[in-house]
Amino acid sequence: MANSGYKGISRVKRTKRHAPGWQTRVVFRGELHQKFFPNSDYRTARDALRAAIRWRNATEKWLGKPRTERVVVGLSRRNKTGVIGIYLAYKRSQRPGRGGRKSKVYVITWKPEPDIVRRTSVSITKYGPKEALHRAIQIREQAELEMYGATLPRPKPRRR
């Protein structure tokens, strides 16, 4: 949390180059958007803070980032599925008599609250690769609705 008590908004004290004010930053999908709100442009520091909050909220809406005080995770270069929070893994069978055989699964992870991680999986062996991924995406979208109140926009696939 920034020193203002609002995510992405920090108080900047007087420096040689700037008057005191509020520095606002929004980062989403590897892009940084920032703007400085000096107190001198507004009647009070509180008015400058309100303007910074309005700008941050509007910028997040324009980018498609859900408005939340929580961290919103972006897509990693290591992600092979193209969907945030879903990855391919091998899972050992827990059933007796199976000899600990491994099967391919899509693992879905999410954080419903800070410091709490939830995880489930969908079998590729049972459903096939396309249906398993489709089911995994549905589970992840349901988790995003509970966490953020909206689903994250699907990123454009990267060229490799």
Q: How many domains does the chain have?
A: 2
**Residue span of the structural domain in which 98 resides:** 86-148
| Mean per-residue pLDDT, 125-139 | 92
Indicate if 58 and 104 belong to the same structural domain.
no
Give domain status of residue 72, yes or no. Answer: no
Instruction: Answer whether residue 139 is part of any domain.
Output: yes
Indicate whether 75 belongs to any domain: no
Between 4 and 10, residue with greater pLDDT:
10
Instruction: Examine residue 38 and state whether it is found in any structural domain, yes or no.
Output: yes
In a domain, 71, yes or no: no
Closest CA to 125 of 153, 109, 152, 103: 103
Give the model's pLDDT for residue 74: 64
Q: Report pLDDT digits (tens) over 30-74.
A: 789 999 998 888 899 899 999 999 999 999 889 888 787 777 666
CA dist., res. 141 & res. 90, Å (int) = 23
CA 2 – CA 68 distance, rounded (Å): 14
Say whether pLDDT at 75 is over 70: no
The whole-model pTM stands at 0.59
pLDDT at 146: 83
